[in-house]
Structure 1
Amino acid sequence: MSTTDAKREIFITGLRNAHAMENQALSIIKPQLQRIENYPEVARRLEEHQRETQGQIDRLEGVLSELGEDHSTLKDMALSLSGSMAALGHTMAGDEILKNSFANYAFENFEIAAYKSLITLAEIGGYHTALGVLQANLKEEEAMAAWLSDNLREVTTRFATLSEAGETAKV
Protein backbone atom coordinates (compact mmCIF):
# COMPACT_ATOMS: atom_id res chain seq x y z
CA MET A 1 0.00 0.00 0.00
CA SER A 2 1.39 3.40 -0.97
CA THR A 3 1.72 6.26 1.49
CA THR A 4 -1.10 8.09 -0.31
CA ASP A 5 -3.36 5.04 -0.09
CA ALA A 6 -2.58 4.62 3.60
CA LYS A 7 -3.37 8.29 4.32
CA ARG A 8 -6.64 7.98 2.41
CA GLU A 9 -7.61 4.82 4.27
CA ILE A 10 -6.89 6.43 7.64
CA PHE A 11 -8.86 9.53 6.69
CA ILE A 12 -11.85 7.54 5.38
CA THR A 13 -11.86 5.43 8.56
CA GLY A 14 -11.80 8.62 10.63
CA LEU A 15 -14.72 10.09 8.66
CA ARG A 16 -16.73 6.90 9.11
CA ASN A 17 -15.92 6.88 12.82
CA ALA A 18 -17.02 10.53 13.10
CA HIS A 19 -20.27 9.71 11.30
CA ALA A 20 -20.93 6.87 13.74
CA MET A 21 -19.92 9.10 16.66
CA GLU A 22 -22.50 11.70 15.61
CA ASN A 23 -25.18 9.02 15.35
CA GLN A 24 -24.18 7.96 18.85
CA ALA A 25 -24.59 11.57 19.98
CA LEU A 26 -28.15 11.59 18.62
CA SER A 27 -28.92 8.36 20.48
CA ILE A 28 -27.72 10.04 23.68
CA ILE A 29 -29.58 13.32 23.14
CA LYS A 30 -32.99 11.95 22.11
CA PRO A 31 -33.82 10.05 25.34
CA GLN A 32 -32.68 13.01 27.42
CA LEU A 33 -35.04 15.33 25.55
CA GLN A 34 -37.96 12.98 26.22
CA ARG A 35 -37.36 13.14 29.98
CA ILE A 36 -36.41 16.75 30.69
CA GLU A 37 -39.10 18.69 32.54
CA ASN A 38 -37.55 21.11 35.02
CA TYR A 39 -34.56 22.30 33.00
CA PRO A 40 -35.97 24.19 29.98
CA GLU A 41 -32.66 25.86 29.15
CA VAL A 42 -30.96 22.45 28.96
CA ALA A 43 -33.78 21.14 26.77
CA ARG A 44 -33.50 24.14 24.43
CA ARG A 45 -29.75 23.73 24.05
CA LEU A 46 -30.02 19.97 23.53
CA GLU A 47 -32.68 20.53 20.86
CA GLU A 48 -30.40 23.03 19.14
CA HIS A 49 -27.46 20.65 19.35
CA GLN A 50 -29.59 17.81 18.04
CA ARG A 51 -30.22 19.90 14.90
CA GLU A 52 -26.50 20.76 14.71
CA THR A 53 -25.60 17.09 15.05
CA GLN A 54 -27.91 16.13 12.19
CA GLY A 55 -26.23 18.83 10.12
CA GLN A 56 -22.83 17.43 11.05
CA ILE A 57 -23.93 13.97 9.89
CA ASP A 58 -25.15 15.42 6.60
CA ARG A 59 -21.87 17.30 6.08
CA LEU A 60 -19.80 14.18 6.83
CA GLU A 61 -21.90 12.21 4.36
CA GLY A 62 -21.16 14.91 1.79
CA VAL A 63 -17.40 14.60 2.34
CA LEU A 64 -17.58 10.81 2.13
CA SER A 65 -19.65 11.05 -1.05
CA GLU A 66 -17.17 13.47 -2.63
CA LEU A 67 -14.47 10.87 -1.94
CA GLY A 68 -16.60 8.13 -3.50
CA GLU A 69 -17.19 6.49 -0.13
CA ASP A 70 -20.10 5.76 2.18
CA HIS A 71 -20.53 5.68 5.95
CA SER A 72 -20.36 2.41 7.88
CA THR A 73 -23.87 1.23 8.74
CA LEU A 74 -22.45 -1.33 11.18
CA LYS A 75 -20.45 1.32 13.08
CA ASP A 76 -23.46 3.64 13.07
CA MET A 77 -25.71 0.95 14.55
CA ALA A 78 -23.17 -0.23 17.13
CA LEU A 79 -22.42 3.24 18.47
CA SER A 80 -26.09 4.27 18.40
CA LEU A 81 -26.90 1.24 20.53
CA SER A 82 -24.13 2.02 23.00
CA GLY A 83 -25.32 5.63 23.23
CA SER A 84 -28.88 4.53 23.91
CA MET A 85 -27.69 2.17 26.62
CA ALA A 86 -25.62 4.91 28.27
CA ALA A 87 -28.59 7.28 28.29
CA LEU A 88 -30.86 4.55 29.65
CA GLY A 89 -28.39 3.82 32.45
CA HIS A 90 -28.70 7.36 33.77
CA THR A 91 -32.50 7.16 34.03
CA MET A 92 -32.11 4.98 37.12
CA ALA A 93 -30.08 7.61 38.96
CA GLY A 94 -31.70 10.04 41.35
CA ASP A 95 -29.39 12.70 39.98
CA GLU A 96 -30.02 11.90 36.32
CA ILE A 97 -29.71 15.51 35.14
CA LEU A 98 -26.27 15.79 36.74
CA LYS A 99 -25.05 12.48 35.35
CA ASN A 100 -26.31 13.47 31.90
CA SER A 101 -24.58 16.83 32.19
CA PHE A 102 -21.26 15.17 33.11
CA ALA A 103 -21.56 12.58 30.34
CA ASN A 104 -22.56 15.19 27.74
CA TYR A 105 -19.58 17.34 28.65
CA ALA A 106 -17.21 14.37 28.41
CA PHE A 107 -18.71 13.28 25.08
CA GLU A 108 -18.42 16.78 23.62
CA ASN A 109 -14.73 16.79 24.50
CA PHE A 110 -14.33 13.37 22.89
CA GLU A 111 -15.91 14.78 19.72
CA ILE A 112 -13.63 17.82 19.85
CA ALA A 113 -10.58 15.55 19.99
CA ALA A 114 -11.92 13.45 17.10
CA TYR A 115 -12.44 16.51 14.88
CA LYS A 116 -9.03 17.95 15.72
CA SER A 117 -7.49 14.64 14.68
CA LEU A 118 -9.56 14.53 11.48
CA ILE A 119 -8.49 18.08 10.62
CA THR A 120 -4.87 17.01 11.01
CA LEU A 121 -5.47 13.97 8.80
CA ALA A 122 -7.14 16.16 6.17
CA GLU A 123 -4.17 18.53 6.20
CA ILE A 124 -1.49 15.87 5.92
CA GLY A 125 -3.49 13.86 3.38
CA GLY A 126 -4.22 16.86 1.17
CA TYR A 127 -7.99 16.72 1.65
CA HIS A 128 -8.31 20.49 1.81
CA THR A 129 -11.91 20.58 0.57
CA ALA A 130 -12.95 18.69 3.72
CA LEU A 131 -11.37 21.20 6.09
CA GLY A 132 -14.29 23.64 6.10
CA VAL A 133 -16.75 20.90 7.04
CA LEU A 134 -14.53 19.51 9.76
CA GLN A 135 -13.82 22.96 11.18
CA ALA A 136 -17.54 23.79 11.19
CA ASN A 137 -18.30 20.58 13.08
CA LEU A 138 -15.45 21.28 15.51
CA LYS A 139 -16.74 24.80 16.16
CA GLU A 140 -20.22 23.49 17.01
CA GLU A 141 -18.80 20.86 19.37
CA GLU A 142 -16.61 23.43 21.10
CA ALA A 143 -19.61 25.73 21.51
CA MET A 144 -21.68 22.92 23.04
CA ALA A 145 -18.88 21.92 25.42
CA ALA A 146 -18.47 25.55 26.48
CA TRP A 147 -22.22 25.88 27.07
CA LEU A 148 -22.27 22.73 29.19
CA SER A 149 -19.30 23.96 31.20
CA ASP A 150 -20.78 27.42 31.66
CA ASN A 151 -24.15 26.04 32.79
CA LEU A 152 -23.08 23.19 35.07
CA ARG A 153 -23.24 25.39 38.16
CA GLU A 154 -26.78 26.54 37.36
CA VAL A 155 -27.99 22.99 36.62
CA THR A 156 -26.40 21.71 39.84
CA THR A 157 -27.90 24.56 41.88
CA ARG A 158 -31.36 23.98 40.41
CA PHE A 159 -31.07 20.24 41.09
CA ALA A 160 -30.12 20.90 44.73
CA THR A 161 -32.91 23.46 45.18
CA LEU A 162 -35.56 21.18 43.70
CA SER A 163 -34.32 18.23 45.75
CA GLU A 164 -34.37 20.28 48.94
CA ALA A 165 -37.94 21.41 48.23
CA GLY A 166 -39.02 17.80 47.66
CA GLU A 167 -39.89 18.51 44.04
CA THR A 168 -38.98 16.38 41.08
CA ALA A 169 -35.31 17.09 40.67
CA LYS A 170 -34.42 14.12 38.52
CA VAL A 171 -35.07 15.64 35.11
Structure 2
Amino acid sequence: MTYQENYLSWLRDAHAMEKQAEEMLEKMTSRLEHYPDLKARLQQHIEETRQQQQMLQQVIDRQDTSNSTMKDMMGKVAAMGQAVGGMFASDEVVKGAISGYVFEQFEIACYTSLIAAAELAGDSEGARVFEQIREQEKAMADWALNHLPDVTEQFMVRSAQPDTEAKK
Protein backbone atom coordinates (compact mmCIF):
# COMPACT_ATOMS: atom_id res chain seq x y z
CA MET A 1 0.00 0.00 0.00
CA THR A 2 1.12 3.55 -0.62
CA TYR A 3 1.59 6.15 2.11
CA GLN A 4 -1.66 7.78 1.01
CA GLU A 5 -3.65 4.52 1.03
CA ASN A 6 -2.52 3.65 4.56
CA TYR A 7 -3.11 7.20 5.73
CA LEU A 8 -6.66 7.31 4.34
CA SER A 9 -7.48 3.91 5.80
CA TRP A 10 -6.32 5.02 9.25
CA LEU A 11 -8.16 8.32 8.86
CA ARG A 12 -11.39 6.40 8.26
CA ASP A 13 -10.55 4.18 11.25
CA ALA A 14 -10.19 7.31 13.42
CA HIS A 15 -13.61 8.53 12.32
CA ALA A 16 -15.14 5.16 13.21
CA MET A 17 -13.27 5.18 16.53
CA GLU A 18 -14.81 8.55 17.44
CA LYS A 19 -18.28 7.28 16.53
CA GLN A 20 -17.64 4.34 18.87
CA ALA A 21 -16.40 6.69 21.59
CA GLU A 22 -19.51 8.85 21.31
CA GLU A 23 -21.77 5.82 21.60
CA MET A 24 -19.89 4.43 24.62
CA LEU A 25 -19.84 7.79 26.40
CA GLU A 26 -23.54 8.39 25.78
CA LYS A 27 -24.50 4.94 27.09
CA MET A 28 -22.37 5.31 30.20
CA THR A 29 -23.56 8.85 30.88
CA SER A 30 -27.21 7.92 30.48
CA ARG A 31 -26.86 5.28 33.19
CA LEU A 32 -24.94 7.33 35.75
CA GLU A 33 -27.09 8.45 38.65
CA HIS A 34 -24.85 8.84 41.71
CA TYR A 35 -21.58 10.20 40.29
CA PRO A 36 -22.22 13.82 39.23
CA ASP A 37 -18.57 14.80 38.67
CA LEU A 38 -17.95 11.82 36.41
CA LYS A 39 -21.20 12.41 34.54
CA ALA A 40 -20.39 16.09 33.96
CA ARG A 41 -16.90 15.34 32.62
CA LEU A 42 -18.23 12.60 30.35
CA GLN A 43 -20.87 14.96 28.98
CA GLN A 44 -18.14 17.50 28.26
CA HIS A 45 -16.12 14.84 26.47
CA ILE A 46 -19.15 13.81 24.40
CA GLU A 47 -19.21 17.35 23.01
CA GLU A 48 -15.46 17.23 22.37
CA THR A 49 -15.92 13.88 20.63
CA ARG A 50 -18.62 15.30 18.35
CA GLN A 51 -16.33 18.20 17.47
CA GLN A 52 -13.54 15.73 16.78
CA GLN A 53 -15.80 13.85 14.39
CA GLN A 54 -16.46 17.09 12.51
CA MET A 55 -12.75 17.88 12.39
CA LEU A 56 -11.99 14.39 11.08
CA GLN A 57 -14.76 14.70 8.50
CA GLN A 58 -13.20 17.94 7.25
CA VAL A 59 -9.85 16.19 6.82
CA ILE A 60 -11.60 13.30 5.04
CA ASP A 61 -13.44 15.71 2.74
CA ARG A 62 -10.23 17.61 1.99
CA GLN A 63 -8.59 14.33 1.00
CA ASP A 64 -11.40 13.74 -1.51
CA THR A 65 -12.37 10.46 0.08
CA SER A 66 -15.24 9.33 2.29
CA ASN A 67 -15.62 7.85 5.72
CA SER A 68 -16.36 4.16 5.93
CA THR A 69 -20.02 3.60 6.76
CA MET A 70 -19.21 -0.04 7.54
CA LYS A 71 -16.43 0.91 9.98
CA ASP A 72 -18.68 3.53 11.61
CA MET A 73 -21.46 0.96 12.00
CA MET A 74 -19.13 -1.71 13.39
CA GLY A 75 -17.80 0.80 15.91
CA LYS A 76 -21.32 1.58 17.08
CA VAL A 77 -22.15 -2.12 17.39
CA ALA A 78 -18.99 -2.70 19.44
CA ALA A 79 -19.85 0.23 21.71
CA MET A 80 -23.36 -1.10 22.23
CA GLY A 81 -21.98 -4.50 23.19
CA GLN A 82 -19.62 -2.93 25.70
CA ALA A 83 -22.41 -0.87 27.22
CA VAL A 84 -24.76 -3.83 27.52
CA GLY A 85 -22.02 -5.98 29.03
CA GLY A 86 -21.27 -3.35 31.66
CA MET A 87 -24.90 -3.12 32.75
CA PHE A 88 -24.65 -6.54 34.39
CA ALA A 89 -21.55 -5.83 36.46
CA SER A 90 -22.24 -4.99 40.10
CA ASP A 91 -19.35 -2.52 39.96
CA GLU A 92 -20.37 -1.01 36.61
CA VAL A 93 -19.18 2.53 37.38
CA VAL A 94 -15.68 1.44 38.41
CA LYS A 95 -15.25 -0.90 35.44
CA GLY A 96 -16.62 1.82 33.16
CA ALA A 97 -14.20 4.39 34.54
CA ILE A 98 -11.27 2.01 34.05
CA SER A 99 -12.41 1.10 30.53
CA GLY A 100 -12.82 4.78 29.70
CA TYR A 101 -9.26 5.50 30.75
CA VAL A 102 -7.95 2.57 28.68
CA PHE A 103 -9.94 3.73 25.64
CA GLU A 104 -8.48 7.24 25.96
CA GLN A 105 -4.97 5.75 25.93
CA PHE A 106 -5.90 3.80 22.80
CA GLU A 107 -7.08 7.00 21.14
CA ILE A 108 -3.87 8.81 22.11
CA ALA A 109 -1.81 6.04 20.52
CA CYS A 110 -3.96 6.07 17.36
CA TYR A 111 -3.61 9.83 16.93
CA THR A 112 0.13 9.63 17.57
CA SER A 113 0.42 7.12 14.74
CA LEU A 114 -1.95 9.12 12.53
CA ILE A 115 0.16 12.26 12.99
CA ALA A 116 3.22 10.41 11.71
CA ALA A 117 1.23 8.98 8.79
CA ALA A 118 -0.20 12.40 7.88
CA GLU A 119 3.25 13.95 7.87
CA LEU A 120 4.64 11.18 5.67
CA ALA A 121 1.64 11.50 3.32
CA GLY A 122 2.23 15.26 3.09
CA ASP A 123 -0.88 16.39 5.01
CA SER A 124 0.51 18.87 7.50
CA GLU A 125 -2.97 20.34 8.12
CA GLY A 126 -4.26 16.88 9.01
CA ALA A 127 -1.31 16.38 11.37
CA ARG A 128 -2.18 19.68 13.07
CA VAL A 129 -5.81 18.57 13.51
CA PHE A 130 -4.73 15.21 14.95
CA GLU A 131 -2.38 16.93 17.40
CA GLN A 132 -5.26 19.10 18.59
CA ILE A 133 -7.51 16.06 19.04
CA ARG A 134 -4.73 14.12 20.78
CA GLU A 135 -4.37 16.94 23.33
CA GLN A 136 -8.08 16.66 24.15
CA GLU A 137 -7.72 12.90 24.56
CA LYS A 138 -4.70 13.38 26.83
CA ALA A 139 -6.68 15.83 28.96
CA MET A 140 -9.54 13.35 29.29
CA ALA A 141 -7.14 10.49 30.10
CA ASP A 142 -5.43 12.61 32.77
CA TRP A 143 -8.79 13.54 34.28
CA ALA A 144 -9.93 9.90 34.24
CA LEU A 145 -6.77 8.68 35.93
CA ASN A 146 -6.77 11.45 38.54
CA HIS A 147 -10.44 10.86 39.39
CA LEU A 148 -10.40 7.06 39.36
CA PRO A 149 -9.56 6.90 43.09
CA ASP A 150 -12.53 9.19 43.85
CA VAL A 151 -14.93 7.11 41.75
CA THR A 152 -13.64 3.94 43.39
CA GLU A 153 -13.99 5.39 46.88
CA GLN A 154 -17.50 6.70 46.19
CA PHE A 155 -18.49 3.28 44.85
CA MET A 156 -17.07 1.45 47.86
CA VAL A 157 -18.74 3.80 50.35
CA ARG A 158 -22.09 3.47 48.58
CA SER A 159 -21.82 -0.31 48.17
CA ALA A 160 -21.10 -0.75 51.90
CA GLN A 161 -24.41 0.93 52.78
CA PRO A 162 -27.41 -1.38 52.94
CA ASP A 163 -30.18 -0.70 50.42
CA THR A 164 -28.02 1.80 48.50
CA GLU A 165 -27.33 1.41 44.80
CA ALA A 166 -23.67 1.90 43.98
CA LYS A 167 -23.12 0.44 40.52
CA LYS A 168 -24.29 3.47 38.55
Distance 1:106 1:163 in 2: 24
| Structure 1: gaps (5+ residues) | none
Q: Quote the residue 2:125 is aligned against.
A: 129
Q: Quote the residue 1:114 is aligned against.
A: 110
Q: TM-score, normalised by structure 2?
A: 0.97
Q: Quote the residue 1:55 is aligned against.
A: 51
Q: Which runs of 4+ in 1 moved over 6 A?
A: none
Further displaced range: 45-54 or 123-132 = 123-132
Q: Quote the residue 1:168 is aligned against.
A: 165
Task: Specify the SS of the correspondent of 1:169.
Answer: coil
Distance 1:132 1:119 in 2: 8
| Structure 2: gaps (5+ residues) | none
Distance 2:6 2:82 in 1: 28
Distance 1:46 1:170 in 2: 17
Task: Specify the SS of the correspondent of 1:71.
Answer: coil
Paired residues, number: 167
Q: Quote the residue 1:31 is aligned against.
A: 27
Distance 1:141 1:133 in 2: 13
Shift of 1:34: 1.1
Shift of 1:31: 1.1
Distance 2:137 2:125 in 1: 20
Shift of 1:126: 1.3
1:21 aligned onto 2:17: yes
The aligned amino acid for 1:51 is E
The aligned amino acid for 1:137 is I
Q: Quote the residue 1:82 is aligned against.
A: 78
The aligned amino acid for 2:165 is T
Distance 1:132 1:7 in 2: 18
The aligned amino acid for 1:50 is I
Q: Deviations over 1:121-144 (max 9, x none)?
A: 011121111122101110011011
Distance 1:124 1:75 in 2: 24
Shift of 1:87: 1.1
Q: Quote the residue 1:8 is aligned against.
A: 4
Distance 1:131 1:34 in 2: 33
1:153 aligned onto 2:144: no
Distance 1:41 1:64 in 2: 34
